[in-house]
Homo-oligomer: A and B are copies of this chain.
Amino acid sequence: MGEFDLIRRYFQRPAAAGVEVGVGDDCAVLVPTPGARWLVSSDMLVEGRHFLSTVDPARLGHKALAVNLSDLAACGATPRGFTLALALPRVDEAWLAGFARGLWALADASGCPLIGGDTTQGPLNLCITVFGEAPPGQALLRSGARVGDEIWASGRLGDARLALEVFRGTVALGGDAFETVRAAMECPTPRLALGQALRGIATAAADVSDGLLGDLGHILAASGVGARLDVDALPRSAVLAAQPAALQRECLLAGGDDYELVFTAPAGARMPDVGVAVTRIGRIEAEPGLRVVDASGAEVRHGLRSFDHFQE
């Protein structure tokens, strides 16, 4: 099968609403919503770094789009479309069919159509760029946190890292427990509805991709503030809560790959109810730096840091 047959078979569909020209021309052509701002984000996934070569291709298709949609969610954007650039070592139709199935399922569920891209031969690499919209001045940025704001996290943190430790062989988990955390790692849910509902409520937001310490750290740096973070308040699954305390803290604080939202809001702000739990995990302070404390208020020495692709 050639490059163009491959595109036609797996990645081409009739253009969706708001898409004048989709896959198959030099550019896609989109009709913007009058007055809206355009939001753009791009993420590249490399085999062996962002995913294991053995991962179910449908789950990989889901995740490749999910991590990008998570950036739109962190900014409170409404998805409008995405491009997919794909380097494949060879044409493996069973793999492509699975990958495309997972990708389209999330695209359909998110109202975010595939509008263009590129395919080439090369070491397996997936690059997705997503486009979304938000009303002027309402995109959630990292720079808006103010002293006295409360810090919140959505969903549960740390399960993806726990699953990675099982794959690495440092942790043993039984069947159901493993499948729970493995699904968190392989099938993250981008918090699009929550992000959109937080427009006008959250003062700053980011998604937890590199680890809570790092991603909250980006908010603190961009906002010029510090914070106190209650590690015992961090939302976690029953599976993670059954692990040793040090491992829990590592997964919660430095795990990454969570794709939950961490955000700040004025104290007492009413949280939106969109079917996803949000938990208050700390407070913005004037003193620079990020202080991790336990439930008693005592500072926790952790020595953990955020994920960095070039410093390991």
Contact = CB atoms under 8 A, between A and B. Distances in A.
A36 interface: yes
Copies in the complex: 2
Interface in A120-163: 120-123, 125, 127, 129, 131-132, 134, 136, 139, 141-143
A170 interface: no
A299 interface: no
A26 B75 contact: yes
Contacts of A139: 20-21, 27, 29
A26 B206 contact: yes
Interface in A47-91: 47-50, 71-72, 74-75, 77, 81, 83-88, 90-91
A134 to B, nearest CB: 8
Q: For this complex, into which size category does the number of interface residues on chain A fall?
A: 35 or more
A33 to B, nearest CB: 9
Contact of A71 (B27, B35, B43): B27
Interface stretch (A111-119, A237-245, A279-287): A111-119
Across the A-B interface, the 10 shortest Cβ-Cβ residue pairs: A46-B122, A127-B127, A44-B85, A129-B129, A42-B83, A26-B74, A27-B39, A123-B123, A30-B38, A27-B75
